[in-house]
Every structure is written in C-alpha cells, then in structure tokens.
Amino acid sequence: MSSCAAFTLIEILIVIGIIVFLAGLVLAVSGYVQEKGKRARAEAEIAAMSAALESYKADNGIYPRDNPGNQFTDNLNARSSTNPANYQNASLYLFTQLSGLNANQTPISGAKSYFGFKPLMLGGPRDANGNVTSVTYIRDPFGNSYGYSTAYQNNPNTGYNPTYDLWSNGVPTPTPSSSPTPTPQDKWIKNW
C-alpha cells in the first residue's frame, strides 16, 4: 500500500485563515501609512513655501499681501475659515507671487521666482495629459487648497501670526473624546 502525503481540509482552512488575517492587517496599515505620508508631504511643502516666503520678504521687505483693492489675503480669517474652497483666491495670489508666473503659467514681466511648484501641487482644470491648463490654487496632498492669510497684520483677532498664516486642513483624524473638544484648526498642518 502506498501512502500519499496530502494536506487535510483542516490544515488548508487554517492556512487560508492566516492569509486572510495577514491581508486584513496589511490593508489596515496601508491606509494609515498613506495618511501619514500625505501629512509628511504637506509639512514639507509648508516648510519649503515658508522658506520661499522668507526669501520674498528679504527682497521686498514684506510678505506677499494683495493690494487693498482685492483683499484676498487680508480677508481670509485663519481663525474661523475652515472650508478650503474659500482659500483659492489667496492661494492663487501666493502662487503668482512665489512662482513669478500667472495662472496660465507664463512668466510675469519683472517678477522673480522664489519657488518652483511641482505639477501635483497645482490645482485647476487639466488637459488630456493631466497637466494643469490654468492654475486656480496651490493644491495640498489631500486635494484641497492651501490656506494663506495675512489677516493678522490688520487685526490680531483674525489670524495666528503677525506675519502670515499658511496651512492645510488635511483630513480630520478621529480624536478620543476629551474635554475640551479640539477645534478643526487643532488638526490642521500649519506654520504656527
């Protein structure tokens, strides 16, 4: 009589169960890792734009602030504005000042470039190849507009810094219930 080595049904089910368990762990961790990667990228982009803003100030004596007729940067209240859709005008203004380009990405006469924006950092309509045709805002890793405000320079109750506020809303992360309840701004990635 010959004996065949084979797996029993129970052994196969145990192996399948272990594989399913490990796959579940990998999927759970991958979402967390992607979120952390986006947050790290947003922190790096804010730090790089902040360095460019310092260079801009060294050359011009002030941080980029739109003229009194437009009021995009002074009207954006960093303390109360939580909707990234409201940031787009100020974000576009920051793009033009730091890049030296207009919304169509052509050079502005006499403007200096302080920061080279990567294509993924630009928000706006895209062509068939995925290139932005007209920049409408600086895009954070979460797909929203970065916030940029100089409101504190006019009124200390509307901003956090007397210089400028630069932030990304990120994606809200669940927090344990505690007192006091954190505000949405506590979860932002910011320069203050």
The reply to whether 5 falls in a domain is no
What is the C-alpha to C-alpha distance for residues 77 and 140, in angstroms, rounded to an integer?
Answer: 19
The reply to whether 8 falls in a domain is no
What is the model's pLDDT at position 124? 92
The reply to whether 6 falls in a domain is no
The reply to whether 181 falls in a domain is yes
Q: What does the pLDDT average to over 54-62?
A: 93
Average pLDDT of the chain is 86
Confidence tier at 166 by pLDDT (50, 70, 90)? very high
SS3 39: helix
The reply to whether 50 falls in a domain is yes
Q: Are 191 and 46 in contact (CB under 8 A)?
A: yes
What is the model's pLDDT at position 176? 52
What is the C-alpha to C-alpha distance for residues 144 and 84, in angstroms, rounded to an integer?
Answer: 6
Q: Are 96 and 88 in contact (CB under 8 A)?
A: no
Pairing of strands 147-149, 165-168: antiparallel
60-84 tens-digit pLDDT: 998 998 876 667 888 888 888 888 8
Task: Report whether pLDDT(184) > 80.
Answer: no
Identify the weakest region by mean pLDDT among 14-28, 124-138, 156-170. Answer: 156-170
* Residues spanned by the domain of 184: 13-190
Q: What does the pLDDT average to over 35-40?
A: 90
Q: What does the pLDDT average to over 162-189?
A: 72
The reply to whether 7 falls in a domain is no
The pair of structure tokens assigned to 87 is 């940031």
In the chain, how many domains are there? 1
The reply to whether 1 falls in a domain is no
Q: State the SS3 of 152-190.
A: HHCCCCCCCCCCCEEEECCCCCCCCCCCCCCCHHHHCEE
What is the model's pLDDT at position 56? 95
The pTM score is 0.79
**Which of the pair, 192 or 118, is modelled with greater confidence?**
118
107-126 tens-digit pLDDT: 999 999 999 999 999 999 99
